[in-house]
Amino acid sequence: MKDELTVVTGAGGFIGGALVAEFRRQGYGKIRAVDIKPVEEWYQVFGDVENLVLDLNLKENCETAAKDAYQIYNLAANMGGMGFIENNKALCMLSVLINTHMLQAAKQFDVARFFYSSSACVYNGDKQRDPNNPGLKEEDAYPALAEDGYGWEKLFSERMCRHFHEDFGMYTRVARFHNVYGPNGTWDGGREKAPAAICRKVIEAKVSGRHEIVIWGDGTRTRSFMYIDDCVKGIQLIMNSDILEPLNLGSSEMVTVNQLVDIVEEIAGIKLQRKYDLTAPKGVMGRNSENTLIRQYLNWEPNIPLRTGLEKTYAWIYDQYMACKQQPVAMVQ
């Protein structure tokens, strides 16, 4: 397999870039990395990889991406944190073009294996009203009441993968990601997720001397957060498994938003006054990954402690933040 062509779409993004890096580390000789962003905006770029800038909303570009591939990891999508998802529902829905065209291209070129990155946003919202969420089982996606926009697109694309397997015999695998975080990801600009946003806000408070932080919501909502190394390992395990159904890929270590802030404050060595913005996008009350099936199928589950992952993430974002502050301001003529 390492001598065959592996294609990663969304490779200029956080998870895609980490996946390409891991394939290189493992000795994969032929990797095609594809993203819509200019290469200089990719989070990780490697000179020994075939890097293509393509808009995969377009069918012909998906054919270019898929040609000669042995396996495809389709991570390309319009997405971000809750602020982005709630304010860009149509844009998130349009990602259905990407997976549909990539599946068609994979079928056209007889691609042996196809992986699709879904999301915990597919789960029924009525099952996420309790902050003491016992964990979302894979069966809880139905009856369907997904996150408006982004979640519905992911659920539809899951079904598309299923039917391409049933109707055309394609090898398709699907993982439902639960809040992935870590270095080399989005940490500002509006698309960042909670761990990166909290790290940045704590760093801003510490550097500026203004010891306060604005938290979206009242801080009692619960989530689990999976470190990027666990995500990359899980992707490969699921791709190379016999599992046909979508599978949770997430940590079961659930915390409140307030507890998430507590951990980052401890890492930074600071305590901040908290202000709660009850008008900001907040998402569901409680979401956690129920990992019985992944343990049963793979004898493994994401296991890197949140504190451990946050220490690495905080250090990386701190370096990025300070580097940005030290950039010279262009003179205005």
Q: What are the tens digits of pLDDT across the range 13-42? A: 999 999 999 999 999 999 999 999 999 999
Indicate if 194-223+253-285+305-324 has the same CATH topology as 5-181+227-249.
no
pLDDT at 330: 47
Would you give the distance in Å from CA 14 to the centre of its chain?
7
Q: Which of 176, 278, 178 is nearest to 222 (CA)?
A: 178
Q: Looking at the domain 194-223+253-285+305-324, which fold is it?
A: UDP-galactose 4-epimerase; domain 1 (3.90.25)
Q: Which amino acid is at 14?
A: F
Q: How far lies 100's CA from each of 48, 175, 256, in Å?
A: 29, 17, 36
> For 46-69, what is the mean pLDDT?
98
Q: Could you tell me the two tokens for 113?
A: 């294996």
Q: Tell me the C-alpha distance between 50 and 166, whole Å.
A: 32
Q: Which residues are CB-contacts of 226 (< 8 A; sequence separation ≥ 6)?
A: 177, 178, 179, 180, 181, 249, 250, 251, 289, 302, 304
Domains of the chain: which residue ranges? 5-181+227-249, 194-223+253-285+305-324
Catalytic residue among 43, 73, 150, 318: 150
Residue 333 pLDDT grade (very low, low, confident, very high; cuts 50, 70, 90):
very low
Q: Is the pLDDT reported for residue 326 higher than 90?
A: no
Out of 10-19, 206-215, 321-330, which region has the weakest mean confidence (pLDDT)? Answer: 321-330
Partners of 256 in beta bridges? 222
Q: Are 108 and 264 in contact (CB under 8 A)?
A: no
Pick the CATH number of 5-181+227-249 from 3.90.1310.10, 1.20.120.1760, 3.40.50.720, 3.40.50.300: 3.40.50.720
Active site residue 150: yes
Cα torsion through 219, 223, 228, 232, rounded to 10: -170
- Whether 202 and 226 have beta carbons less than 8 Å apart is answered as no
pLDDT of 61 higher than 50:
yes
Please tell me whether residue 183 adopts helix, strand or coil conformation.
Answer: coil
